[in-house]
Structures are given as C-alpha cells and as structure tokens.
Structure 1
Amino acid sequence: MDALSRLPVWLRDPRYTGSNRCLPCTIVNLVIAAALALVVATVSIGWAIATFAAAAVTIGVRGYLVPGTPTLTKRYLPDRVLARFDKGPERGGVASGGAAANGAADHGIVADDGEPFDPATALVEAGVLLEDPAVDDFVLEERFHDAWRREARTLADANADEEVLADFLEVDDPESVALVDRGRAYAAYIEDEPAGRWESRQAFLADLAAAAVLDDRWDGWSELSTARRSELLGSLRLFIETCPTCDGTVTLDTTVVESCCRTYDVLAATCDACGARLFEADVDPAALERAAEA
C-alpha cells in the first residue's frame, strides 16, 4: 500500500521495513550515516550531503546501512534503551492497532471516551462469557461458541475479507478497503491509510465472525465505539478453541518471540495444526508466576 511496498522485492527488505522496522536499529544506522557524512565533509560538503542522502535512502529501503545491525544493537544497547524506542507484540485488531489501549491490562482499560472499560465484565453481562466453577474460570456460552465457529468457517470459505471489513467499519466503498498479508501481520488499509492489524488472517476471521454473532445477540453491540468493539473482540480470542481455516486445536500458552533486536515473553494463542497465531500480547512473566501461585 505504501510507496516502499511498491518497490521490487530484490531492492527492499521486508524483514526490517514497514511494520517490521526496528526504531533502535534505524536510529543507530542514522547516527552512523551522520558520522560518515561528517568525515566526508572534511573533504567536500557536497559529497557529504550526497553520502548522507544515499545512506538515508538505503536505510529507508533496506532497514539498515551496516550489515549485522540487529545483532549489534541487541548485543550492545541496554534493554532499557531498546524498550524506550522499540515496541513489543501487541494485540491486533481494528482501528489504531486494535484497541483503545493496546497492550493494557484487561481490567480497568481506559477506552476512547476516557471511561474505564472492563471487557470481561462487559462480555459476562452480555451472556457471552460464563463463570464455570468446575474450572474456576470463564468459558464461552455454548450457543455463542457454536455460532462463532460456524460464522468463522463461513467467512473463511467466502474469501471476501475486504467486503466483510468494509461492512464492519461502515465504509461505503468496499473497494477502498485493502488487506495485506505481511507474514507476521494481517494489515488493513482504507484508501492507503492504516486501519487495523491482526496477528494473522485467522485472527482477522475470528474477530469479524465474532462481531457478526454479537451483532445478532447483543442489543447494545452496534452502539459501542469501534475501539471498544475491537477490544472486546481481541479479548474473546483468548477463548478461541478452533482455528477458523483448518479446524485445528488452538492452544493458549506463554512463549518467547524475537523481534529485530529484542526478545519478549508473550501470551499467545496458536493453532497446533497450521501454526497460525490468533492472539499475542506482551506479558510480565513475574505477574504470571504470581497468578499461578495464587
């Protein structure tokens, strides 16, 4: 969708550009480019400007200037510095990356209208989640679960993702909506402007299928803002049991993922059959251990 994505594959490097661009690595390379330009400036100002311009274009297209930058950045920059600039995995979804406050705790989320919003409480009040004393946890209401699974399979087979998203976002022209599979992300655009991101097409299908079912079963669903609906849909994916495209079993577990120059502990829901990631959120391992002990 952007100008970079239109460049030939052999020229650009999608591993380190676009949604995969690493800000710490980019900054390090720009500093190196500036230092190189200063050295050249001792001979010629014109050549120095040309050198920096060429280096900046290279960084923009390739993601780095010096080969091995991700390894060097990970090795020599303190994690607190990387954490300041880099971003960990986020829960994907519609609008602004998916939620009113991506990466926030599920309880006490501040929504787009500034009011605290608890997705779990909202879903319980809507009859979508039920407390099961047998497992001492929330579970999906059986009829909702069955309807969600059927709708997800229907959407997967229809292969009309753009039209479905246009309807969800109430976009008049479906042709202005585009979805791009970037491998580690399923990104949505409206007239070339970012409109959302999911961990995979399977996560996208799960969200839009749940939205369709909730619209039929929850009288107040259509009155919620897009941000709140997106947060609710993302929370629901914590309870998904079956992959929308292959019917494989979805397992929820903690794992470690690696970005360009950092590693993260994440809570992830993954299909055992096809490997699709349906949910991923940055977590605090210590908090998980305390919760398990409790």
Structure 2
Amino acid sequence: MDALSRLPVWLRNPRYTGSNRCLPCTIVNVVIAAGLALVVATVSVGWALATFAVAAATIAVRGYLVPGTPALTKRYLPDRVLALFDKGPERGGGAGGAVADEVPSDHEVSFDPATALVEAGVLLEDPVVDDFVLEEGFHDAWRREARTLADADADEAALAEFLEFDPGSIALVDRGHAYAAYIEDEPAGRWESRQAFLADLAAADVLEAYWDDWKGLSTARRSELLGSLRLFVETCPTCDGDVTLGTTVVESCCRQYDVLAATCEACGARLFEADVDPETIERAAEA
C-alpha cells in the first residue's frame, strides 16, 4: 500500500493524489512553489529551502498548493495541453479496473471479448432485442455467486484465489471513488467500486466451472473478459438494486469525459465505466 494512504484522512486528499494525481496541476503548483522559494531566497537561502520543502510536502499529500488549482487549470490551460498529460481512460476502452499483470502475446492482440464469450456460450444473440444477452443459466449462477461473495465479506481471500497469490500479500482499499488492490504494497488493480469487484470475482468463479478454456487464458485476458461482462450486470451484488446502463458526464481534476456507465439505481454504485466518443453514441442512437 502506498505511504500516502497511511496518512490520516483529514491530512491527505485522495481525490487529487495517488492514482488520481493530476500532472498539469502538479506541475503548475511546483512551478509556483519554486517561484515562492526564489523570492524568499533574496532574504535567506535557508528559509527558501524550508519554504520549498513545506510547499512540496503540501503538494505531495494534498495534490496542490494553491486552493482552486483544479478549476484554474481547467479554465486557463488549453484542452490540447491537458490532453498531453491526461490519464483518463482511452476512448472505446474496456473495463475500468481489471487486474492485468501480463503483456498479451502477438496471438492474443486480436482477442475479442465478445466473440470469446459467444463461443463459450455465455453470451447469446437475441433476435427479439437485436443484441447479446447472457445465457440464463450463467446469469443465475453469476448472480447467486456475487451475492454469496458479498455476504461472505472475504474480498482479499477471493482475490488471492483468483490471482493464485498468498492471501497475506493482498490488501484491498475502498477509496470511495475506487476499489484498489495491492500486492505486497504495490498497486495491482482498480475497480469502479466494491460492487464491480464482486461482480468480477463472482463471474470468474462461475466461468471456471462453465468454460473449459477459462483457466488457459492469461490473467490480463481473463480480466478483460470480466470487465466486458459487467456491461450485462442487471442487479447490484450488495443491495440487489436494478443496474441501468447509460451515458453520463464525469469530471476529473482538469477535464470532463462522456462515459458509458452501468450504475445501481438503489445504492448508486458504479459497476462499469468506459470513456466513449459522444459522436459514436449519437450515430448509434440514430441507427
């Protein structure tokens, strides 16, 4: 687990630090801190060093030095500049939290999750709705397993079994805006919520019994498949609320994104989120 996560909540600001740290804001604030130190250096070099050290520490734990930096950066830096540093998901991307520790081989580069799930009998083409739907037996087993995992409240053990790691080396941290996994204090995965995590682990358990080729896939590809399956989640693993799929706008530190999102109507948990091109959505709606 990273050192910042061990600091008291009142001191750190997880919204703008760690994996959420905004590089443009950080650069702007470091430049400001250096400027302040140079001004102080005209009086005392020692005080200048102390000023810069305090400023740097503040940026490290809070994400910024000047209050309102995110809004100021968003307002005054051109979007093309922000895009150079932005860490948002790629357009057309898949799951927002899959654990992936392997580089796909050349053969796996052409891997298509939808095709693989159809060939496995997990997804079926429904001519009535003109779309893919989950096979009924798989859907029911997935829902039962997700609820079982939620009630068991043994997330680290379930993830350790999926990754085939020692449970003692795995830690899960709920950051409110994300559910993060660490292996021996190193970041190993990130989900939109605990509910998304439970959906992935439950699907993995069911797929292992349902699909002979499942265990032969790399961890990266299995994670990609699990993330794709979350598009078809109908009920929340923890509250049984209805999950709806739609487009919405989410705001990062410096930018706004149009995302395709699956959200529980009852508890508000986000189970899937992927950056999408608004023009693509409009064309699909018109078609």
**Normalised by the shorter chain, which TM-score bucket?**
over 0.9
Alignment correspondent of 1:153: 147
Write out per-residue CA displacement over residues 202-260 of structure 1, whole angstroms, 9 at most, x where no aligned residue: 00000000000000011110010000000000000001111111111100000001112
Structure 1 position 78 matched with structure 2 position 78: yes
User: How big is the shift at 1:40?
Assistant: 2.4
Q: Structure 1: 5+ residue runs without aligned partners?
A: 101-110
Q: Is the 8 A contact 1:249 1:271 kept in 2?
A: yes
- Aligned partner of 2:25: which letter? C
Alignment correspondent of 2:52: 52
Alignment correspondent of 1:112: 104
User: How big is the shift at 1:138?
Assistant: 0.6
- Aligned partner of 2:104: which letter? D
Alignment correspondent of 1:21: 21
- Give the TM-score taking structure 2 as reference length: 0.94
Q: Structure 2: how far apart are the matches of 1:229 and 1:214?
A: 10
Q: Is the 8 A contact 2:247 2:259 kept in 1?
A: yes
Q: Across the two proteins, how many residue pairs are aligned to each other?
A: 281
Write out per-residue CA displacement over residues 125-171 of structure 1, whole angstroms, 9 at most, x where no aligned residue: 00000111111111111111011001101111111110000000000
The range that moved more, 271-280 or 7-16, is 7-16
Alignment correspondent of 2:278: 285
Q: CA RMSD in A?
A: 1.6
Q: Is the 8 A contact 1:22 1:261 kept in 2?
A: yes
* Residue among 99, 113, 121 paired with 1:95: 99
- Aligned partner of 2:149: which letter? L
Q: Is the 8 A contact 1:183 1:200 kept in 2?
A: yes
Identity of aligned residues (%): 83
- Aligned partner of 1:33: which letter? A
Matches within 5 A, 1:1-294: 1-89=1-89, 91-96=95-100, 112-114=104-106, 115-171=109-165, 173-294=166-287
Write out per-residue CA displacement over residues 29-60 of structure 1, whole angstroms, 9 at most, x where no aligned residue: 01111222222233333333222222111100
Q: Is the 8 A contact 1:162 1:179 kept in 2?
A: yes
Q: Structure 2: how far apart are the matches of 1:142 and 1:190?
A: 35
User: How big is the shift at 1:19?
Assistant: 2.7
Match of 1:195, SS? strand
- Aligned partner of 2:134: which letter? L
